[in-house]
Amino acid sequence: MRSLLLLLVFIAVVPASATHIIGGEMYYEHISGNQYRVTLDLYRDCGPDNQNGTGFDFSAQLGVFNSAGVLLFTQDISDPGETLVPVDLDDPCLSTPPEVCVATTRYEAILNLPPINGGYVISYQRCCRTPALTNLQGQQGLTCTIQVPAPPNAVNSSPRFNEYPPVALCLGRDMVIDQSATDPDGDELVYSLCAPYQGGDAIQPMPQPPSAPPYPLVNFAAGYSATSPINSAPPITIDAATGIINVHPTLQGAFTVGVCVSEYRSGTLLSTVRRDFMFKVVVCDVTVISSIQDQDDLCSGLTQNFEHQSVNGTFWLWDFGDASTLADTSSEASPQWTYTTPGLYTVTLIANPGWPCADTSTSVFSVFPVLDVSFDRPDIRCPDETAALVAEGVFGADAVFNWDLGPFASVPNGTGAAVNVGYSEPGVHAVTLFAEENGCTDSYTDSVVVFPRPVVEFVNDPNGCVGEELVFTSLATAWTPLQLQWNIGDGTTWQDSTFIHSFAEPGLYPVTLTVSTDSGCIATVTLTRPGAAEIFPNPVAAFTALPTEVSLMNPVVEIIDYSASATELEYTVQDLVTSTPSFSYEFTDGGQFVITQTVVSGEGCTDITTRTVTVSDHLIYVPNAFTPDGDGLNDLWAPSVRGARLYDLVVFDRWGQLVFSSTDPKAAWDGAGYPQGVYNYTIRLAVFGAFRTEYTGHFTLLR
């Protein structure tokens, strides 16, 4: 059971003892009174040697001890997040392998440290260092610790290093490493190589609280020591006054190195900041290759953009090969230059100029103007009319042109930059101009618009009689507004699209329509149709009606036909309609009567004439009695009058009172409401002519 428990404990702690720590350091700053800001900087391997990708702990615990090693209190500090330590070899000829990676984090805490005898020791411990270390025996942890002095020097700020520790050292290269520090109090600083401390182990990788001082030093592997922690020829040294390290690594590997900076005030040692770090010796790439990216666009114009594809270069010197000036150089990584004239230019790039590892490359750039062609769309054309297409834009004398004019184009003449083109069909015809010069190409597409010619057509009533209205209508069409001009053969002209016209003389008349356009396809087209309108003569209506005035006593007239060119004839007299050419007619009433003759020719033409006959005199009969008794016999009193042009009847009783009146010769009096007796009347009338008369009398109303 005990063995099983130990095994479980071991399994549980293995993840916490991840091998990723490569160093650290601690320092403090007096803020005010008894307040001190304590800073713990830790470093870890973030490269492939840290196979599990282990990061920093979420929190770190500081232990605060007195000079006798008694733990006074602990302080937990949260991890604020890590940053990468930059690789700075201070030599542009050198570059480290990409797998070299170091991350750092900074834990800070404000501690209350009132002055005490012997001062304070503040410590942090963690296991384990990366197993990739060459100069240590086995896995070992680390302890970062710092001393706060006792009175009278209790108020103190420890020194802190000015630069990060070196991430990598280059194998076989003289390296100068600045490990100088700054002391806020201006105390004397002395630098030395020293052994780092151990702290923590695989069983207890995060001692909480940290163990009490003093702390054991790391166990160096054979041949290594605190002052000789790395293979170097000559041996590694540090300037005690400046903190400058000189080293020439001779063995590739990872080495733990300790750098101590001790502060003295009036000869008294106050504290020592111990930087514990891993120096990684790698093979640094010293090959610098200058390379100019190939010109990607031969047709970009006189202004060229340059890019390098150099390897390991860090600064540059370009020469653009422009013989017209001495200012054609640049130190930019991606410069731009504008040439004054086209041509071939040799561009030179020196990577790391002036350094032993400098490299030079050249490239020939072809510089040509930007090829930019176009053409103006010609005016609208008619079918088969030629238009000139002329290439315009930016191009040189060696430019070669090709025109794609479409399937309906005809090219009577022209080559190269200009062509004359016509189109057999109306429409919008796409035209593309292709240009090539010095390997550069460009194209431009526009169109030629071709309108159809005007189409002239018309319709009209083909025939008619003299004086009959005929309709003329244009059917002409065009894509643009039309102007019309008619000539209909009798000297009359029209400009309307539709009009009505009557001819005064018979005959065959030619009709001409001319249409024209002043936009689009500008053209004039004429259509003439001989004999388009045939005009027939009209027959002549003529007759006599004699005598022209007759008496109602003998109201007979003789009608005799004298018409010409008629195939049909018709008379209208009062209610009589007859086609008899000549006849006698007796009128039944007086008045003025119109006799109408209508004649029709064989072509359907007509003529009409009239004669007027006056029937004079009149006839009148006045009854002398009536019996309005409702028996249907003699119930009304009404004079009988014929031939009256004007008529006025009044009836009075025997006392002279008006009982009935009318101006209608056909009017009758029914005697309603009046007694039996004798009534007087007066009739005034006028006949056709100048005759006027008056009749008076009386009649009897019998009941």
- pLDDT, residue 19, reads 61
Looking at the structure, do residues 211 and 319 belong to the same domain, yes or no? no
Cα distance between residue 159 and residue 185, in whole Å:
8
- pLDDT, residue 93, reads 67
| Burial category of 554 from C-beta neighbours within 10 Å (exposed 0-12, middle 13-18, buried 19 and up) | exposed
Residue 357 lies inside a defined structural domain of this protein:
yes
Looking at the structure, do residues 351 and 312 belong to the same domain, yes or no? yes
Asked if the model's pLDDT at residue 428 lies above 50, the reply is: yes
With contact defined as beta carbons under 8 Å apart, do 599 and 563 qualify? Answer: yes
pTM of the complete model beyond 0.75: no
Q: Which CATH number covers residue 689? A: 2.60.40.1220
Looking at the structure, do residues 167 and 114 belong to the same domain, yes or no? yes
Residue 55 lies inside a defined structural domain of this protein:
yes
Looking at the structure, do residues 219 and 89 belong to the same domain, yes or no? yes
Looking at the structure, do residues 429 and 344 belong to the same domain, yes or no? no
Sign of the C-alpha dihedral, residues 404, 405, 410, 413? negative
Residue 289 lies inside a defined structural domain of this protein:
no
Residue 359 lies inside a defined structural domain of this protein:
yes
Among 565, 598, 616, residue at a domain's last position: 616
Total tally of structural domains belonging to the chain: 6
Backbone angles phi, psi at 568, to 5 degrees: -135, 150
Looking at the structure, do residues 250 and 101 belong to the same domain, yes or no? yes
- Which residue is listed with tokens 């200058």? 290
- pLDDT, residue 18, reads 54
Residue 4 lies inside a defined structural domain of this protein:
no
Residue 618 Cα to chain centre, angstroms = 100
Looking at the structure, do residues 628 and 662 belong to the same domain, yes or no? yes
Looking at the structure, do residues 439 and 470 belong to the same domain, yes or no? no
Strand 120-126 to strand 142-148: parallel, antiparallel, or no bridges (unpaired)? antiparallel
Residue 467 lies inside a defined structural domain of this protein:
yes
Tens of pLDDT, residues 336-365:
999 998 889 999 999 999 887 889 999 999
- pLDDT, residue 413, reads 58
CA neighbor of 202 nearest in space, from 31, 16, 30, 461: 16
Looking at the structure, do residues 472 and 343 belong to the same domain, yes or no? no
Give the residue numbers spanning the domain of 606: 543-616
Asked if the model's pLDDT at residue 8 lies above 60, the reply is: no
Tens of pLDDT, residues 144-202:
999 999 999 999 999 999 998 888 898 988 999 999 999 999 999 999 999 999 998 88
Looking at the structure, do residues 466 and 409 belong to the same domain, yes or no? no
Looking at the structure, do residues 86 and 225 belong to the same domain, yes or no? yes
With contact defined as beta carbons under 8 Å apart, do 26 and 39 qualify? Answer: yes
Q: Is 511 left (phi over 0), alpha (psi -120 to 50) or beta?
A: beta
Looking at the structure, do residues 434 and 556 belong to the same domain, yes or no? no
Q: Which CATH number covers residue 341? A: 2.60.40.10
Tens of pLDDT, residues 393-417:
988 888 999 999 998 888 765 568 9
Among 229, 253, 282, residue at a domain's last position: 282
Residue 6 lies inside a defined structural domain of this protein:
no
Among 311, 337, 367, residue at a domain's last position: 367
Backbone angles phi, psi at 7, to 5 degrees: -65, -45
- pLDDT, residue 27, reads 97
Residue 12 lies inside a defined structural domain of this protein:
no
